[in-house]
Amino acid sequence: MLFKSLFLVHLAAAQELMRFGCSQLTVDQIDPLVEPGNVPSAHMHQIVGGNSFNASMTPGSHDPPTVSTCTSCTYSEDFSNYWTANVYFKARNGTFKRVPQVVNLGLGTKAGMTIYYIRGYQSSAKVTAFPKGFRMLVGDPMNRVANKVPKGNCWRCEANMQQSPFGGAPCTGSDTPGFPKAACGGGWRMTVTFPSCWDGKNTDSPDHKSHVAYPASGTFESGGACPSTHPVKIPQVMYEAIFDTRQFNNKADWPADGSQPFYLSMGDNTGYGIHGDYLFGWQGDALQKAMDTKCANDNCAALKRQSNAQAIACTKAQASKENIGDDQWLKNLPGAITQF
């Protein structure tokens, strides 16, 4: 543990990032960003954050800090919602089982995600927190080709549950844009990274992407400047989730032809459909204060932090009636059947 915390301190100093745990709020087949009001939506998601998460979350009227009564994230002023697709395993007999997620940062016994807000890498540039109502999407659930996976989005085959050796920064080394092809001893780490520049005006756009952009030259990591169309530097939001694929590691259960037995919930068995949804919901100017005072990791003088137990206690009942497939074999992928 000592090694790990020293490592994190070092990482935070170099990169100036907040990194905190959020436990599972719910697993549900709704998507207030891409398909507002639809119950069920096209595919299943796993969601963390404020408990005002619901199918509609109407822009301009639904204000997460006002209508939430709790958050499953450790910073108690953060009622944002963060969500991604789930992963399922398909057995030889054609049935599906949901791949459980691992608790990957000090949040006791419950699965969830680790959320990052990265200010920059040794950069002194002003970082502007998202305005009220801000939302965005990264990645494309319908994408099935490697070179269209946005940068900073990838999968890592973990050798063991200790994530040792660490394997370097996300999406470097042997990380892949699609699903790992081997049986992994420590499951899969999924990293989802959003663009870090904003047009400074729109809190959303028709494709939920055009109001944000990547740096004009270089990368966020190298301190690349934002393009003139999107001049405002925003925190780089990154999600990390670990899927515990270990119970599915017996190759005798995998398709005889050697094909991939795992599917993202939209019926994607490449992993290139990796995507993440973000709906901003920090109270008042808490996130701006966190950026200005260079908050690090999951404890910061400028922010209120609840206990891990309080975060874990925040959950939300499933709105869609679909069977999410917890520890059960399902005949079909929930809801995704029309997309095969």
Ligand X SMILES: *[C@@H]1O[C@H](CO)[C@@H](O)[C@H](O)[C@H]1NC(C)=O
Residues in contact with ligand X by the rule CB under 6 A:
52, 54-56, 62, 67, 91, 93, 95, 253, 329
**Helix, strand, coil percentages, rounded to 5, for the chain:** 15, 25, 65
For 3, 98, 289, 297, the CA distances from 86, given in Å and listed in that order, are 31, 7, 33, 26
* Four-residue CA torsion sign, 243, 57, 75, 219: positive
Q: Which residues neighbour 121 within 8 Å (Cβ) at sequence distance 6 or greater?
A: 14, 15, 16, 220, 221, 222, 223
Q: Shortest distance, CB of residue 22 to ligand X, whole angstroms?
A: 20
Q: Shortest distance, CB of residue 255 to ligand X, whole angstroms?
A: 12
Q: Please tell me whether the peptide bond between 40 and the residue prior to it is cis, using omega within 30 degrees of 0.
A: yes
Considering the complex, state which of residue 36 and residue 231 has its C-beta at the smaller distance from ligand X. 36
Tell me the two tokens of residue 300: 């910061």
Considering the complex, state which of residue 55 and residue 115 has its C-beta at the smaller distance from ligand X. 55
Considering the complex, state which of residue 121 and residue 329 has its C-beta at the smaller distance from ligand X. 329
Q: Shortest distance, CB of residue 137 to ligand X, whole angstroms?
A: 20
Contact 314, 72 (CB under 8 A): yes
Q: Shortest distance, CB of residue 320 to ligand X, whole angstroms?
A: 11
Strands, DSSP E only, in the chain? 17-28, 45-49, 81-85, 87-90, 96-98, 112-118, 135-139, 154-157, 188-193, 197-198, 212-213, 232-233, 236-243, 262-264, 275-279
Give the distance between the most distant pair of CA atoms in the chain: 56
Considering the complex, state which of residue 52 and residue 72 has its C-beta at the smaller distance from ligand X. 52
Considering the complex, state which of residue 91 and residue 171 has its C-beta at the smaller distance from ligand X. 91
Q: Shortest distance, CB of residue 55 to ligand X, whole angstroms?
A: 4
Considering the complex, state which of residue 272 and residue 280 has its C-beta at the smaller distance from ligand X. 280
Question: Phi, psi (5° rounding) for residue 242?
Answer: -115, 125
In the block, tokens 């000592």 appear at 2
Considering the complex, state which of residue 45 and residue 156 has its C-beta at the smaller distance from ligand X. 45
Q: Shortest distance, CB of residue 61 to ligand X, whole angstroms?
A: 8
Q: Say which amino acid occupies 66.
A: T
Give the residues across from 154 on adjacent strands: 191
Q: Shortest distance, CB of residue 143 to ligand X, whole angstroms?
A: 28
Q: Shortest distance, CB of residue 305 to ligand X, whole angstroms?
A: 25
Tell me which residue of 259, 262, 252 sits closest to 90, measured CA to CA: 262
Considering the complex, state which of residue 93 and residue 109 has its C-beta at the smaller distance from ligand X. 93
